Amino acid sequence: MRRISLALGILCVAMTQANAELIINGATTSTTTPVTEPTVISNSSFSPNNNFQSCLANLRSAAIASGVSASAYDRYTQNLTPDYSVIDKLNYQPEFSTPIWDYMTGLVDQERVQKGQQKITQHRDVLNRVQAAYGVPVETVVAVWGVESNFGDISGKYPLLQSLGTLSCEGRRQSYFRGEFFAAMRILQRGDLTEDQLKGSWAGAFGHTQFMPSTYEELAVDFDGDGRRDLVSSTPDALASTANFLKKRGWQTGMPWGFEVKVPQGMSVAGESRRNKKSLGYWSNQGITRVDGTPLIQGNLSESSSAGLMLPAGANGPAFLVFRNFDAIYSYNAAESYALAIAHLSDRLQGKGEFVTPWPTDDAGTSRAERREIQQYLLQKGYDIGEADGLVGDKTRQAIRQEQSKLGLNPTGRAGQKILRTLRNQQAGQIMQ
C-alpha cells in the first residue's frame, strides 16, 4: 500500500498512502500512466552529506516531542547504522517506459487470479467478517493483498529503522521520512510488533498489504482480538486494516468501482478524466453504454450517480466510467494504473472476464509465466540474467535488446508477445533440426 509504486514522480506520487513505491516485476516503478521502470543510480554516485550519528542525535528532541520516549529513542538508535543503498533507490532515474498493457498484464494474470481465489477459499470466514464490518467486498481486499505483496510472499526485507533513519538524514524529503521514522518507533514502543518483524520496502512500507508506519498508526486494526495490531504475522489484522483504509477513504458499500464502457464513434473525449465526474444521465444522453451494449443505469445506480470517463490508453483503447470507489482504491497508491489493476483483479476474482476492448498495440504484454518462459530461453542462450523468476529487470531487458538487435527487430527491451513468439519459433526450429 505503498501509499506508493508504486514512487518519485514515483515517490512524491506515492507518498499519499503507505506505499512509497510500487514493486512491479522486481523493479520500483512509477505508478503514473505510462508506468516507468527506473534504473538505480550506482552507489558511487552518492556521498553522505552528514555524520549519521550526529543527525540521529539532532533528531532526538523532535522524536520525543512526537511521542517517542527518550529511553526508546536511545535504545532504537544506539547501534543503528545507515544503509545508503536506499538513497540510490530514492534517486532512481526513469530508463524504461512500461505501457499500461504491460503493467496490467503483469499484475493481473491467471496465476494471480487463481492464487487469489485460493486465498479467498482459505480465509473465507475472516474475509466474510471483514466485509460485514467494513462494507468492502472480499475480492477487493484480496486484490490489494495480491498486488501489494503477492499475498504475503513479497513484503520487503529492509529493516525499517535503518532505512527510514537513513532517509531521515540524507537525500530528499527528509521531513516526510522523519515522520515515518518516528512512527515506526512508536509502533515498537507500544509493543504491537518487534524490531525484527518491522521489515519492509526500502521506503518504509511493510506487512501483507504494505502500510507506511503513519498509515498503520491511523488505520491498522486488531481484528484477531489478541490485543496487537499485527500486519506482519496476522492475516486477519492485515485484511481488516486494508478494508478499514478503503472505508475511511470513502468506499461506498454496494456500489461498483466502475465498468468498461463503449464510447460512440466521433464523441469528443477531450478533457474527460476520473476527476471530471458527471451524472450517468449525462453519459447516457451522450450515447455511452456498458461495453456489452446494456444501459449504464443498473443495480444501485441512478441517473444522478456521478462518474468520470477514464481512457488510460487514449481514445483507441478501453474506456471506463469510474465512481467514488475507484477513487478510494486510488488513494491507496495515487496512480490510476494501480487503481485499475486492483479494480480489474477484484472483478476477475469474482469470475468476470478480461477487458473487451483490446489495448492499442500490436505487441501485447506477457504474463509472469510467459516472462519466465522468455527468461528461460535467454538463459539457454547463455545470457547472465539470474534465475527465471518472471521479474523483468535490467539484465533481462538488456538481453532482450541484444536478441532483438540480432533479429533485426526494434531493440526495445520489452518482454512482449513478439519476442516471446520469436524465441518459441527459434526453439521449435532447433528441435526440428
pLDDT tens sequence across 236-282? 999 999 999 999 999 999 999 999 999 999 999 999 999 999 999 99
Whether the per-residue pLDDT at 82 is higher than 60: the answer is yes
pLDDT band at 353 (very low <50, low <70, confident <90, very high): very high
Q: Choose between 27 and 330: higher pLDDT.
A: 330
| Bridge partners of residue 38, in order along the sequence | 94
Active site residue 148: yes
Domain residue limits, the chain? 1-255+334-361, 258-322, 368-432
- Cβ-defined contacts of 61-67 (< 8 Å, 24+): 62/178, 62/182, 63/181, 63/182, 63/185, 66/179, 66/182, 66/183, 66/186, 67/182, 67/186
Crossing angle of helices 417-432/368-380, nearest 10°? Answer: 50
pLDDT of residue 391: 87
Average pLDDT, rounded, for the chain: 88
Residue 38, C-alpha cell as written in the block: 527506473
Candidate list 139, 148, 260, 373, residue with the active-site label: 148
Closest CA to 137 of 321, 270, 328, 370: 328
Dist. CA 374–CA 424, nearest whole Å: 9
pLDDT recorded at residue 34: 35
The structure's pTM equals 0.87
- Mean pLDDT for 287-310 is 97
% pLDDT > 70, the chain: 86
| Phi, psi angle pair for 322, to nearest 5° | -120, 145
Of 429, 420, 380, residue with least CA distance to 105:
420
pLDDT digits 0-9 by tens, 381-393: 999 999 999 988 8
The confidence score (pLDDT) of residue 10 equals 30
